[in-house]
Structure 1
Amino acid sequence: MTETARFSRTKQARRTDIRRENERLILEAAEKVFAEAGFGGATIQLIADMAGLPKANLLYYFPTKEDLYRRVVGNIFEIWLQAAEAMDNAPGPVEGIGAYIDAKMEISRRHPHGSKVWASEVMHGAPVIQDYLETTLRDWTEGRVTVIRRWIDEGQMAPVDPRHLLYMLWATTQHYADFGHQIETLNAGKPLSARQWAEAKESVKRIILTGIGALKG
């Protein structure tokens, strides 16, 4: 490799690193602003200020506020989809649903703002992401319903309605993000410690898995 080619490759790698870092800063700031102000109350300038970048830089990566909003929502949804992979190849509900609860609660711990953005959007009738609900979410749900029904047919759990079980899992695990302030208030004004998070995961798993007959009391 010539010196010129090596220099060009190094320069390109540096540009890629800068782009990734800028996108990370923008998306982290956008999650927080959208979570606190909603889509309507958020502004590109406010997000740029929080990211510590000029507004023009932000618009270079995301030309419109809706582009940025959809990327934030898409990111949290992709993380949720990855969490559900634990269910697909699990031998039974104890392993599959248990791993899913662990993963979803860890997401609530590490990505609370993203969860709040999603919750707020849906509570307002999903004006921006209705297509996500009608396509990707619907397909994802049908796939998990099939898995749960198989476990029921195999006698590994009680014959509960798979959809209502999924709604319960979502509501319970995302509560720790969407109502984090309430939990913190009831925890003497302090965020849950690592030990408390571990205890919460175990409690949620035990309650739900015992309730559906997958775990004997």
Structure 2
Amino acid sequence: MAALRTVLASLVLACSAQACCGNVLFSSLQRTLIVSASPQPGQVVKAGEDKITVTWRFNQSFAAGTDSAYKTASVKLCYAPISQVDRSWRKTVDNLAKDKTCQYAIAAKAYSPSNQSAEWLVQKDVPEATYFVRAYALDAAGVQVGFGQTTDKNKTTDLFVVQAITGRHPSLDIASVCFSAFSVVSLIGFFIVEKRKANKAGSAPN
């Protein structure tokens, strides 16, 4: 019996240490939040220009008190699997301390079980990719204790695309085309003038 108590105590301490260090497994979290975002499935939003609106609330189908430890809601923009292929820097890991799925913060607010919302301008540094939105419920220690997201379990539905900033203005492209055309015309003109000079020099009397 004493040995059993020792083993149980060790397990409790191990679990406590894991939580304190923030090593929460995503698979251990309940999907207790209902989350929606304004982009329609497949919609393209432009970084640095378009805004998205996110709403979230507690799923009332869970028992009362399930969210008693919830203190903060943290909402993030997350990569869809299609935009994680061959990109280890976006890799999904069950250990949330190592997970790289959700890298862009949208909002952080004090938790409330009723409807909450946030409007977010898609930042200029957000790369072009396919995304969804996820919200985490955090306890007083800032540890994830629940979540919700705009997509399904496999992260294949209700996804949207962010179009990244190219860093080029249309007027620059037009100017570049005009300059290139001018250069070609100038080069052709140069060759014609040189050819005429050569012909005159060849036909001049000795």
Do the two structures share a fold, i.e. TM-score over 0.5? Answer: no
Which is greater in Rg? 2
Instruction: Report the TM-score when normalising by structure 2.
Output: 0.27
Task: Name which structure has the greater RCO, CA cutoff 8 Å, separation 6+.
Answer: 2
TM-score, structure 1 length as denominator? 0.26
More helix by share: 1
